[in-house]
Amino acid sequence: MTTASGSREVPFPRARVWQALAVLSPYCAVCDVSYVVSGSPTAGTGTTFVCVPGRLEGGRAPDAGAPQGEIVDWVPKKVVATRLELTPETWTTRIELADAGPGATRVTITLTHEAKRGSRVVQRIQQGAMRRLVQRTVDAELDKLPAHVDQVAETA
């Protein structure tokens, strides 16, 4: 298992950041990913979803092999964690929000990668590369925070 974490302050109130990061919308233009959520996107723990690259248009359903996800932790305006199951691996993302002064929010993202297959020897050899990949992914997600919040403002 490989885990990386990072934090960033953003000049937006926590409620707006929560809306941008925790509530799954049908399409995220920042990430170019579509989500199909079973039930309400604000139902919390146990909510399941499918995610696919690009925009699902014309009522097109995700392919059968699309990554399956689940919200595994949900404390409104504080914590959301999702688990995304791919065939050879599981990715768990935990987002924690905290007030960082008037109108500012501290966002902490923790990403965990767990291989489901492959020999332990190969996983051990690839461990350094995977650690760098997971940390780069966390850093890239932190860099996208303002764009995610701006996207919510545009659609609100």
Backbone phi and psi for residue 67, each to the nearest 5 degrees, phi listed first: -60, 135
From the list 28, 78, 29, the residue with the least C-alpha distance to 49 is 28
**Rounded-to-integer distance, Cα 74 and Cα 44, Å:** 5
Domains of the chain: 2-23+65-155 (3.30.530.20)
Continuous segment of H or E residues that includes residue 50 = strand 48-53
The string of pLDDT tens digits covering residues 6-26 is 999 999 999 999 999 998 888
Q: For residue 14, what pLDDT is reported?
A: 94
The string of pLDDT tens digits covering residues 30-79 is 999 988 888 776 778 888 999 888 888 776 777 777 889 999 999 999 99
